Chains A and B, each alone.
Chain A
Amino acid sequence: MLSTLEISCQRGRQLLWNDVNLTVNLGQLLFVSGANGSGKSSLLRILAGLSFANSGNVLWCGEKIASNTTMYHSKLLYIGHQPPLKPELNAIENLIFLTQVHGQSVTQDQIVSALHSWELQGKSITLPTKHLSQGQKQRVALTQLSLLKKALWILDEPFNSLDSNGSNILSKLLEDHLEQNKLAVITSHLHETAAHIAPSLQHREIRIEF
C-alpha cells in the first residue's frame, strides 16, 4: 500500500541515506530505528509528503503521492515530535480545530469522551494548553488518533514524554489500528523493536535501521 522506490535523502551536503526501498502492506507497521541525526524524522517527513526526497518516489496504492495530494492527505495522519497545539486554546478547542483542518467534523462530546479515554479530564481539558505538562500535551495531540479515522498513521517518537499508562493506551490503539488492516509508521528510541511496544505487533513489523 505504502511503498518507496529508491528514495534518498540529503541534508545540506551530507547524504543521510540512499536507495531505500520499502513496502508497507495492509495491517503492517514500519518501525524506523537509528541513532540521533541518522535521518529517521526525515524519512517520516518524506513519507508524509512534507519534505521531498532528493531522488525516488513515494507511492500510495501504486500512485505517486505528489500526483494526488488531496486524496493522500485524506488518508494520512502525521504527528511530528512536537504536539501541534496552540498554547492559547484549551484541549477541546485545539482538537476541534485540528479535526476540522483534517476535514472531519467531530462533536464536542466525542472529543471529551476521546480525551477521557486518554485519562484527561477536568481542568486539564479546559485550561489553555500552555498550562499543561509535556506529557499531557502529547496525550492531547495523540487523541487525534482516536478521533480521526485515518488509514495511515505516521508518528514521530509518539512515546516521548508519555508515562507508562499513556504508553499502554497508545500501544492498545496501535494494535487496534493494525488489527483493522490499516498502516502505521513510527519511530521510538524507547523501544528496540515493535515487539517491545506490544508482543502482538511482532508479526506485523517491518524494520528499517539507519
Chain B
Amino acid sequence: MAPLSNINILLSIFKRDITLAIRRSSDTFGAIFFFVLVVSLFPLALGSETKLLQQIAPGIIWVCALLAVMLSLSRLFNDDFQDGVLEQLALSMCPLEMITFAKVIAHWCYTGLILLLISPILALQFNLPAHSIQVLFIALLLGTPSLSFIGSIGAALTVGLKSSGALISLLILPLLIPVLILGTLAVDAATTGMHYSVYLYLMIAFAVLSSFFAPIACASALRIVLD
C-alpha cells in the first residue's frame, strides 16, 4: 500500500464534496434557485424602465449572489461534524488548513461557479449592454471565491450550533462589504464607459488574501470545536 501525497488526499476530499453536493442536489441547488428567482423578481416588479434597471442591475445581482452563498454555507463543515467525519479529517496526515482549503474550493465549484455561469442570462433581463455583462462575469469570477473563503470562517465558527444560518450572515456579511462595493463599482464603471480594471485588481488582491488567511482561521476554529 503506497502512502498518498497530500495532493492526492486533497483531491479525494474535493471529489467527495462534489459527489455529495450532486447527491443532495435539492439542498445544493436550492441556493442557486434562490439566486435565479430573486434576481428575476426585480425586473418584474420594477417594470420596463431601461435606465433604472441598468442602474440597479449590478447591485441586485451582487446582493443576491452574496445571500445565495450565505444560504449554502451552513452545511459546509456542519455535516462532517455531525457524522463524525470531521474528526477523521482532523486526524489525517494532511494539515487541516489544506483540507479546509480543498473543501472551500469544492464549495465554490457548486455555488459560486454556477452562480457565475448563469449570471449573464439573468443580466439580460436588466437590459445590460454586452460589455457590462462581460465585466459582471469577470467581477463575479474574481469575487465569488472571496465570498466562499471568508464565508467559510463563519461556517467554521458556527459548527455544531442549531440555527447557524442567521449567525453566519451576521458574522460574515459585514466582512464581505468590500467585495460587494468593488463588484458593483466595476460593472457601473463599465456601463458608464469608465476604467474598471482597478476594481478588478483590488478584487484579485482580496481573493488572494482571503484564500490564504481564511483556511488558517477555519482550521483553528474547527480545532476548538473538536476539543
Contact = CB atoms under 8 A, between A and B. Distances in A.
Indicate whether A and B interact: yes
Interface of A: 48-52, 70, 73-74, 76, 78, 80, 82-89, 93, 96-98, 100-106, 128, 149
B15 to A, nearest CB: 9
B93 A74 contact: yes
Nearest to B22: A88
Given A51-B227, A102-B93, 8 more contacts: A84-B88, A97-B12, A98-B88, A100-B9, A101-B88, A103-B93, A104-B3, A149-B1
B3 A73 contact: no
A149 B2 CA distance: 12
Contacts of B23: 88-89, 128
Interface stretch (B79-87, B142-150, B154-162, B173-181): B79-87
Interface string B56-100: 000000000000000000000001000111011111111100000
Given A86-B20, A89-B19, A97-B12, A105 B1 contact: yes
B91 A76 contact: yes
Nearest to A97: B16
Contact of A86 (B83, B91, B94, B95): B83
7 contacts: A48-B91, A84-B87, A86-B79, A88-B19, A93-B19, A96-B12, A101-B88
Contacts of A100: 4, 8-9, 12
Given A88-B24, A104-B3, A82 B91 contact: no
Interface of B: 1-4, 8-9, 12-13, 16, 19-20, 23-24, 79, 83-85, 87-95, 226-227
Given A48-B91, A102-B93, A80 B3 contact: no
Contact of A101 (B24, B84, B89, B227): B89
Given A86-B85, A101-B88, A101-B92, A52 B4 contact: no
Most A Cβ at <10 Å: residue of B3, B4, B87, B91:
B91
B13 A101 contact: yes
Given A50-B90, A74-B93, A76-B91, A101 B20 contact: no
A82 B81 CA distance: 11
A51 B92 CA distance: 15
A48 B226 CA distance: 12
Given A88-B20, A88-B24, A70 B12 contact: no
Most B Cβ at <10 Å: residue of A49, A89, A100, A128:
A100
B91 A78 contact: yes
A76 B19 CA distance: 27
A85 B83 CA distance: 6
A52 B227 contact: yes
B84 A83 contact: yes
Contacts of B3: 74, 103-104
Contacts of A105: 1-2, 4, 8
A206 B4 CA distance: 34
